[in-house]
Chains A and B, each alone.
Chain A
Amino acid sequence: MIERQSLSYKDPAGFVVKKDDGFHRYITQSYACEYDHFIKSGLYQLLVDSRLMIAHKELNLPASQDHLFYKEIFPAQVISITYPFEWAFTQWKEMILTYIAINEAALKYGMILKDATPYNFVFYDGKCMLLDTLSFNFYKKGSPWIAYRQFCEEILAPLSVMRYKGPAMGKLGITFLNGLPLSFVSRELPFRSWFNTNCLLHIHLHAKFQKAGNKERVTNTGITTQKLASLFQIIKNDISGWKPPSSNNSDWKNYYGTGIENEKYLSDKLTTVSNWLQKIGPKKTIDLGANTGKFSFVASQFSQQVIAIEKDPWCADAIYQSARKNDLKNILLVIADITSPSPGLGWENEEKVALLKRVNGDLLMALALVHHLCITKNIPFSLIAKLFSQLTSQYLIVEFVPKSDPKVIEMLRNREDIFSDYQESSFIKWFEKYFELLEVHSCTCSERKLFLWKTK
């Protein structure tokens, strides 16, 4: 008997089970017709070839299960899942355009996506792709677009709020796991959003009539295929023109500053980190506090996979855009604050897995980060060293920024210095509890030091 797991339980067409070799998907007998049409019509192959969807292979069901299920499939395994509330604005935009492109293709094959949740999409091989093979249903001409409400609440509304109120609003998804109520979004969006086609049609007017329509009799009258195709076209054309919010609001984008001293320091740091990366040859590198991704991009040359974790949504957007522009397919972006990482959410707190259970690597880089954790967030070295030891199975590169550094002086300017323990000797003492020190490098034109550690 296959036991249902909390991570997938909603869809009667099938469910996902985590096994030793990865995630398997079971398809129930009730979805046999739809699945067969999806595969045999060529739609599946078209979507896989267009890199809109994750590929899978069919497995042979054991004889004891073949009356219980129609198929067992094994999708290409995504190394780390990121959730929509951890995506940058540009990633959201790409997800919507992928959703529309899939629907446009499906309509030509007499099918349509039966749901519209961003959780069905993943960033894989440098692109946004649909993960859920069971999302397709037959489209009956003239029937309503079943996923329309979900599309507006779970996909369009969050992106609109991010567009008009800033990309940090993406975090609302942690509270509103099943989408934002349209009446709430309509109230929160500024007046100028009434002049945007998508916001006007799918949020403001939809919110007004949604309330009124709840008192009406249920109708099966929908929109024609031609109108549905036009609707997808209108949504696509408008969203394509939405620009990411201005990065002028970010305090972090110009963190490294300019000037000859800074350039020498940065160049020396890049050389040292590159040399260490080359020596280690990591499989999976985590770049914690990735800023605009300078070191994530370096790591992507020496590491099979890089997970760039950055809390600032403007910097994160810059990372994603640069990675896409330079075709760096092995960088996965996560918007997260390591002092408050995404929690486990949904049913039993397991439907959406906590960030710290999703990310780990064999190398962790924490460059120009520890002084922020210690001095801005008051986190002691003991806790930082412990967390870092949980995130890496082998190596750790940490930059230590002393109190004499201009950035630390600035941080302490308007507050009492209660950080008597913030010393290099103390830093080494606490990290030695979990790691063995391999190398130390003093940076050029700076009092900062880079430490290379290995887990004990």
Chain B
Amino acid sequence: MNAHEILYIDPGTGSVFYQVILSGILTALVFFKRIKDFFRPSPKSFEEEDNTETT
């Protein structure tokens, strides 16, 4: 943090602390999204399926 930031607004000790937890929550969210995406057919494969049906 530079001097400006400290002088201008108070980020709040509790809020800065919570961002560490939030970072963990975001990691978990991204992880679950990747698992979900892994089991869900990608839009590309839908297109491929469409192409196969038309040809």
Contact = CB atoms under 8 A, between A and B. Distances in A.
Contact of B17 (A11, A146, A209): A209
Given A13-B4, A114-B8, A149 B23 contact: no
Nearest to B25: A201
B27 to A, nearest CB: 8
A213 B27 CA distance: 20
A416 interface: no
A147 B19 CA distance: 11
B35 interface: no
Contacts of B10: 149
Interface string B8-28: 111111111111111101110
Q: Which of A13, A149, A219, A224: most chain B CB closer than 10 A?
A: A149
A212 interface: yes
A333 to B, nearest CB: 29
B11 A146 contact: yes
B35 to A, nearest CB: 16
Contacts of B11: 144, 146-149
Interface residues of B, number: 26
Contacts of A149: 10-12, 14-15
A187 interface: no
Contacts of B26: 223, 227, 230-231
Contacts of B25: 201, 205
Given A114-B8, A147-B9, A230-B30, A214 B14 contact: yes
A206 B18 contact: yes
A221 interface: yes
B5 interface: yes
Nearest to B21: A209
B8 A214 contact: no
B36 to A, nearest CB: 15
Q: Which of A146, A147, A218: most chain B CB closer than 10 A?
A: A146
B16 A144 contact: yes
A357 interface: no
A115 interface: yes
Interface in A114-135: 114-115
A218 B4 CA distance: 17
Contacts of B5: 114, 137, 146
A196 to B, nearest CB: 15
Contacts of A13: 4, 8
A115 B23 contact: no
A212 B14 contact: yes
Nearest to B10: A149
A13 B17 CA distance: 27
Interface in A26-79: 30-31
A205 B18 contact: yes
A396 B29 CA distance: 59
Contacts of A213: 13-18
B1 A220 contact: yes
B23 A219 contact: no
A30 B8 CA distance: 12
Nearest to A150: B9
Contacts of A146: 1, 5, 9, 11
B14 A211 contact: yes
A227 B25 CA distance: 10
A3 interface: no
Interface of A: 10-13, 30-31, 114-115, 137-138, 143-150, 152, 201, 205-206, 209-214, 216, 218-224, 227, 230-231, 234
- Shortest beta-carbon contacts, A-B, top 6: A213-B17, A210-B14, A213-B14, A149-B15, A149-B12, A209-B18
Interface of B: 1-2, 4-5, 7-23, 25-27, 29-30
